[in-house]
Structure 1
Amino acid sequence: MIPAAFARATIDREGAAGEAWLAELPGIIDELLTQWDCEPDGEAAHGQVGVVVPVRDDAVLKVSFPHPGNVHEPDAFEAWDGQGAVKLYERDDARYAMLLERAHPTTLMEHDEDVVVTAGDLHRRLRIPAPDGLPRMSEQADAWEEELRKDAAELDHPLPAAVIDAALAVVDELGRDQPEILIHGDFHPRNILRADREPWLAVDPKGYVGDPAYDATTFLRTRAAHQLGADDLITVLNHELELFADAAELDPERIRRWSHLNLVQSAFWGRRHGFGRARGGSQLDKFIALVDELAVSWS
């Protein structure tokens, strides 16, 4: 039941802890199948941190690697109660496991029509008052400021001081006092799946409390990578930002400011760690140059 690619990626990322968890995972899955009276119904799939086993009655068993970033996923699903997201049927927090409504493997990333409007509309529907006990994005503001100042001082980069100051202003003016709204936390097209009950449903939330306009920046950053070959990319992304803001009923300028902070952070992150598979060489240089350009444009 454990996909080989998932096993390799888990060991590469988590080392000995990942290897030990993988050794226990088949037993964990068997116990959960018995506990929730489920029968496997197809081959297991996986994301970055979890295995998904289809089971009878249009459900899936998801078991994730124990990590702080996965703790509040079931809380978000429970709060949404199927509104714009897959339904949560059962949860086992000690084993980072859930029984969820099944969706199709097709993601919004593979859908060519109305991607931005569809995502914006779904984002609007996910916007509800936050339940108690979830982590607040505002608690990260001090760390954001400290990291921005440290990176700006230590890294070799072309970003003007005014661009860095604008990012710091976002932290001070938007980051420290955020709305008590449940946000997805990792809202991008690959986390929006084709479904039967509704056309599209969200999956893999982080479950934070914060500004919905911040949540929109992850979607737009992913769109920037997708649109790399477009003529006049900045114009294209500005248009998509406006479309998303209109569908989500959010202030486009607020999204733009959060996006600016995100881009400056990404510019520094890329220099320290790379981006995804672009860990070095000309591809990484190209991505960093694009992020720098967007950060200046949206400052």
Structure 2
Amino acid sequence: MFEPYLSRWNLLPDGDPIVARGSYLLPVRMDGHINGNPAMLKIALDAEEKFGGLVMQWWNGDGAARVYAYAGDALLMERAQGKNSLMEMACQGQDDEASCIACNVIAKLHQPRSMPPAELIPLNIWFEALESAAQREGGLFLQSLAAARELLASPRDIVVLHGDIHHENVLDFGPRGWLAIDPKRLIGERGYDYANLLCNPELPTVTDPIRFIRQSHVITQAANLERRRLLQWTLAYAGLSASWFLEDGDRQNANSDLSIAKLALQALLWEVNNHDDFH
């Protein structure tokens, strides 16, 4: 699998292969030498991962890892060498700082650029899985779908989205700072990219109501978002993510997302009942 590209791009393996969802990865050194620049060779296993490489190329290393080469299903990109981790920060009392770092990276990715790549998926198509889940499951899925429909009917600030920003897709690249990896191929309202920071099921405190409320305020300020809009996107995204987990037979993570959807809904209702201006 890796060999054709090791030869083609003169790469030397520099670690064990990594199996990820949708791809295989191999740490490598460039120029066929142990002292060559460290890089990561990624082989996409599906169209979503493959087209994500086009978005990475388009970003051209601004807010995301640099792409050194791209051909077919293979992507050769800059490898993170820093020792810091947003997940560790969030788990060790630096949750606010981790959220702000992620928001800064998202803002870089959303900066105006030249003509975006072709074949991007609009969010109304992306949310079709939620439609099916709402019909089948009802309950909170219906509330999430209602929020999604309202947002998608009146989009604001349309940008090329990362589509899967979470604490392990923003990495420490040492002197180059924090950069994103593994985008989807989405286009839509910028607020969508911030919702997953409140939904990451890998974060042990993700369903803590106090953490949720605090981080919703932190993200609102750091991203210059309307808080009501962020809560709506969180409600919508949590339902969408739960629907994907159900498709995979993962009820545990689906329930985690539904807990987040409930927190977002409660926060929205509290804002309305207290006549807050949502900022």
- The answer to whether the aligner puts 1:71 opposite 2:17 as a matched pair is no
- The answer to whether the aligner puts 1:287 opposite 2:260 as a matched pair is no
| Count of aligned positions | 254
In structure 2, the CA distance between the partners of 1:72 and 1:107, relative to structure 1 (3 Å rule), is farther
* Alpha-carbon distance between aligned partners in 1 of 2:266 and 2:202, rounded to the nearest angstrom: 13
How does 1:112-151 map onto structure 2 within 5 Å? 112=92, 113=94, 114-129=97-112, 131-140=116-125, 143=128, 147-148=130-131, 150-151=132-133
**What are the superposed Cα offsets for residues 231-280 of structure 1, whole Å, 9 maximum, x if unpaired?**
xx1x32122122123222333322211111123334555566554xxx4x
Moved more, 211-220 or 54-63: 54-63
* Alpha-carbon distance between aligned partners in 2 of 1:270 and 1:210, rounded to the nearest angstrom: 22
Offset of residue 173 of structure 1: 2.9
Equivalent in the alignment of 1:170: 151
Partners of 1:187 and 1:215 within 8 A in 2: yes
Equivalent in the alignment of 2:169: 191
The residue matched to 1:169 in structure 2 has which SS?
A: helix
**What are the superposed Cα offsets for residues 202-252 of structure 1, whole Å, 9 maximum, x if unpaired?**
11111322211101112221179531574xx1x321221221232223333
In structure 2, the CA distance between the partners of 1:115 and 1:152, relative to structure 1 (3 Å rule), is same
**Counterpart residue type for residue 103 of structure 1:** A
In structure 2, the CA distance between the partners of 1:84 and 1:53, relative to structure 1 (3 Å rule), is same
Aligned CA RMSD, in angstroms, stands at 3.1
**What are the superposed Cα offsets for residues 63-99 of structure 1, whole Å, 9 maximum, x if unpaired?**
334312113222222222111211001001x2x1111
Offset of residue 52 of structure 1: 2.2
In structure 2, the CA distance between the partners of 1:205 and 1:53, relative to structure 1 (3 Å rule), is same
Selected match of 1:100 from 77, 87, 108: 77
Equivalent in the alignment of 2:277: none
Offset of residue 183 of structure 1: 1.3
- The answer to whether the aligner puts 1:155 opposite 2:137 as a matched pair is yes
Equivalent in the alignment of 1:45: 18
* Alpha-carbon distance between aligned partners in 2 of 1:169 and 1:245, rounded to the nearest angstrom: 19
Offset of residue 36 of structure 1: 0.6
Offset of residue 155 of structure 1: 2.3
TM-score between both structures, scaled by the size of structure 1: 0.72
Equivalent in the alignment of 1:242: 217
Moved more, 49-58 or 211-220: 49-58
Question: Where in structure 1 are there 5+ consecutive unaligned residues?
Answer: 1-24
- The answer to whether the aligner puts 1:31 opposite 2:4 as a matched pair is yes
**Counterpart residue type for residue 17 of structure 2:** A
Selected match of 2:227 from 252, 266, 283: 252
